[in-house]
Amino acid sequence: MPADVKAFVVEHSAGRMRDEPWELPGFSLSRHDETYLTFLREVLRSGRKLVAGETFITPDEEHAMLELIRDESEASKTASRAPLLANIKDYFVKASKVESYRHGLIKRTIKELAAEGKVDGQYGTRHSLLHHELVKDGVDASRTVRPQLFGWNSIVIRKLAAGMSPDDISDVEYKRAFAESLMPAFWLDSVVCGKPSEKLSVSDVRFSTLVQNALFDRLTEEQLDRVIKEDDIRAPFTINGLPDPVVKKPTKAEIIAFLDRNM
């Protein structure tokens, strides 16, 4: 980070009051988390201000975010109990409202800090429009984007959060995103990488996401309906010609051969 940077803005999806002291977790869940925590500790040691992007000025702002999160949680439960297309769409719309609200808080925080001096920050793909909006608002902003892969769940929420009408997203996209969300990430990591999530490197995470995308990209709407109806996380493997991972985990060679056939 350049020496003239006065503050570093980081995502904090749960939100924080503006004057709440910043305390970093004393533990990490993965190699990626540990690398990130090490970086944040260096920021603090350098004397720069470390600020959560999602900061509330008033209790009403915090209440509003908690209400949106509650609505998202309830919609998720409803879609899980009754996975009809209308319920699935409602879940993604409510999830996007949480991201949009967070986005607005991050933008406000950056704009206020930018008035005090140079600011750096890090935020995810669902806030990738932040740079353009800051420039539009008169903030001298630039960004560096590292190559990343994102699953259908993130893709659909990002489209909605960016202002796309829910009706402009196809039924298949909604179903693909919802079916993908049924597959626990820790289970997929174990099957694809052969190790628990806390042992994954950044390249492992990219590889796991690449496989996940390939598994669901090739499913027809009828096959997606089957996965959703039966909540069968093994089906994307067997439909794509891979072994049933509950019976026998596919080898790395089998997974790479699958990717070669379908990428």
Q: How far apart are alpha carbons 210 and 28 in whole angstroms?
A: 24
Residue 172 lies in a domain: no
User: What residue spans of 82-201 are helical by DSSP H?
Assistant: 85-114, 130-136, 152-161, 171-181, 185-193
Number of domains in the chain: 2
Residue 171 lies in a domain: no
Q: How far apart are alpha carbons 242 and 250 in whole angstroms?
A: 7
Whether 110 and 217 map to the same domain: the answer is: no
Per-residue pLDDT tens, the chain, 263 aa: give them.
556 777 888 877 777 888 777 676 655 555 556 667 777 888 888 888 888 888 899 999 999 999 999 999 999 999 999 999 999 999 999 999 998 999 889 889 888 888 888 888 877 666 767 777 888 888 887 777 665 667 899 889 989 988 899 999 999 999 999 999 999 888 998 999 988 777 777 788 888 889 999 999 989 999 999 999 999 999 999 999 999 999 999 999 999 999 998 77
Q: How far is CA 200 from CA 41, 157, 203, 216, in A?
A: 21, 25, 8, 22
Determine the 3-state secondary structure of 19 from DSSP. Answer: coil
* Angle made by CA atoms 185, 177, 12, in degrees to the nearest 5: 60
Residue 170 lies in a domain: no
Residue 89 lies in a domain: yes
Whether 24 and 124 map to the same domain: the answer is: yes
Boundaries of domain holding 71: 1-164
